């Protein structure tokens, strides 16, 4: 079946986002960045990329926090341009992409409310892509019950809260459970929506979202080790989709250590290769040394899936994939900047290559 919702407007925006993709930093440009000795050198090198205009007015020395903020600003500006020029049904697809950021923002505000922090200050820390019209109203809430009621009444996430959570669930002990519960509902809903868009969007987004579900299943399993989360509760957090659903998820719910996690992953060809040369106890991003972590390999797998999305035309997956590739680019640039700033040049090449 052909793409049932693709039209001229979608084709115009697809052309724009493919242009954005062409502006991603290339391997030779990354090589130039890694050879910089100072942050001023890095700023000069970045001036030859699409980030140049966003950094030209920043005073020296450039800090890594400012660099991260300006790179994110560039990403947000490009995504919001797509939103401003999108009509149905592509506008709905772009809205779905933002729901994940909304979940993180709401969790941040819930945490702040529980700790009686000034939620107006927290609002500034929220991701711009996760803003929604009623978010300022959340800052007025003085109790978790008030905040829950506000989200329930006037929020794009209302359906996920209504189906999965009650006000009594919103406490500090449950905060990560709440995050994963909401994200599970979001992933399942997004998957169903994408399947209704027809081919090739349905197939491309199925590959991407199934991978994301598998990655979350593995991360939830690993992060639950040594916690009070029961195995039954652990299994309830797994998204009901993915290449490892339901057989491997049933096994993951019962494991007790990393060796058992590895044994399950080795039975899946698409993940077996990710384990080669990986230190399962290493932290993400090479922060534990020069060894790669499993999460690093997941990032590499994600990059490949999102690059593959650009091999086909006339589908919505390119909008999702470009955003994810851009986020990986930002992680790469900030990682290189941190290594330069902290004079840890021996780790500077521990980034995930894109192109």
Q: Does pLDDT of 255 surpass 50?
A: yes
Residues 94 and 191 in one domain: yes
Mean of the per-residue pLDDT values of the chain:
90
Q: Is there a domain that residue 119 lies in?
A: yes
pTM of full prediction above 0.75: yes
CA–CA distance, 259 with 281 (Å, rounded to integer): 11
269-321: pLDDT as tens digits: 989 988 887 777 665 544 445 567 899 999 999 999 999 999 999 999 999 99
Q: Is there a domain that residue 240 lies in?
A: yes
Q: Is there a domain that residue 98 lies in?
A: yes
pLDDT above 70 coverage of the chain, percent: 95
Q: Assign 3-state DSSP to the chain and report helix, strand, coil percentages, each to 5.
A: 65, 0, 30
pLDDT of residue 7: 73
Residue 325: in which H helix or E strand, if any?
helix 317-341
Hey, what are 160's tokens? 């996920």
Tally the domains of the chain: 3
Q: Is there a domain that residue 111 lies in?
A: yes
Residues 94 and 188 in one domain: yes
Q: Is there a domain that residue 2 lies in?
A: no
Q: Does pLDDT of 1 surpass 70?
A: no
Residues in the chain: 355
pLDDT above 90 coverage of the chain, percent: 68
Hey, what are 169's tokens? 């669930």
Residues 30 and 102 in one domain: no
Residues 55 and 15 in one domain: yes
Q: Is there a domain that residue 20 lies in?
A: yes
For residues 125-145, average pLDDT: 85
Q: Domain ends where: 233, 261, 276?
A: 276
Residues 256 and 333 in one domain: no
With the C-alpha atoms ordered 18, 312, 265, 269, is the resulting torsion angle positive or negative? negative
Q: Domain ends where: 163, 196, 229?
A: 196
Sequence-ordered list of residues with C-beta below 8 angstroms from that of 11, at least 6 positions apart, any chain? 314
Residues 116 and 66 in one domain: no
CA–CA distance, 287 with 331 (Å, rounded to integer): 13
3-state secondary structure of 278: strand
CA–CA distance, 134 with 117 (Å, rounded to integer): 19
Q: Is there a domain that residue 1 lies in?
A: no
Name the residue with tokens 């009686």: 116
Which pLDDT band, with edges at 50, 70 and 90, does 67 fall under?
very high
Q: Domain ends where: 180, 196, 212?
A: 196
Residues 111 and 207 in one domain: no
Which pLDDT band, with edges at 50, 70 and 90, does 199 fall under?
very high
List the domain range (segments joined by +) for residue 54.
Answer: 7-87+282-304+311-355
Question: Which parts of the chain are beta strand (E)?
Answer: none
């Amino acid at each position: 079946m052909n793409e049932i919702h693709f039209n001229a407007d979608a084709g115009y925006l697809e052309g724009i986002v493919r242009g954005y993709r062409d502006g991603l930093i290339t391997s030779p440009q990354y090589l130039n960045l890694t050879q910089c000795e100072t942050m001023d050198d890095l700023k000069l090198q970045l001036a030859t990329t699409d980030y140049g205009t966003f950094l030209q007015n920043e005073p020296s020395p450039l800090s890594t926090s400012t660099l991260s903020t300006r790179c994110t600003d560039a990403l947000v500006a490009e995504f919001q341009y797509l939103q401003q020029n999108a009509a149905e049904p592509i506008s709905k697809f772009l809205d779905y992409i933002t729901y994940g950021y909304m979940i993180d923002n709401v969790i941040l505000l819930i945490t702040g409310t529980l700790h009686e922090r000034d939620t107006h200050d927290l609002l500034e820390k929220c991701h711009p892509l996760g803003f929604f019209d009623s978010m300022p109203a959340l800052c007025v809430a003085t109790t978790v019950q008030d905040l829950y009621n506000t989200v329930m009444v006037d929020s794009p996430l209302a359906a996920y809260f209504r189906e999965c959570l009650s006000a009594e669930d919103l406490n500090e002990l449950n905060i990560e459970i709440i995050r994963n519960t909401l994200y599970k509902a979001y992933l399942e809903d997004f998957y169903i929506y994408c399947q209704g868009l027809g081919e090739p969007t349905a197939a491309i987004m199925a590959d991407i979202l199934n991978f994301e579900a598998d990655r979350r299943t593995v991360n939830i399993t690993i992060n639950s080790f040594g916690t009070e989360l029961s195995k039954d509760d652990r299994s309830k957090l797994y998204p009901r989709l993915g290449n490892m659903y339901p057989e491997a998820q049933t096994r993951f719910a019962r494991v007790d250590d990393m060796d058992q996690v590895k044994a399950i992953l080795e039975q899946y060809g698409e993940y077996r290769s990710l384990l080669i040369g990986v230190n399962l106890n290493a932290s993400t991003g090479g922060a534990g040394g020069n060894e790669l972590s499993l999460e690093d390999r997941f990032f590499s797998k994600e990059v490949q899936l999102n690059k593959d999305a650009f091999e086909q035309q006339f589908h919505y997956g390119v909008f999702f994939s470009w955003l994810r590739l851009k986020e990986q680019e930002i992680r790469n640039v900030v990682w290189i900047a941190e290594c330069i700033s902290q004079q840890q040049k021996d780790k500077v090449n521990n980034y995930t290559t894109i192109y």
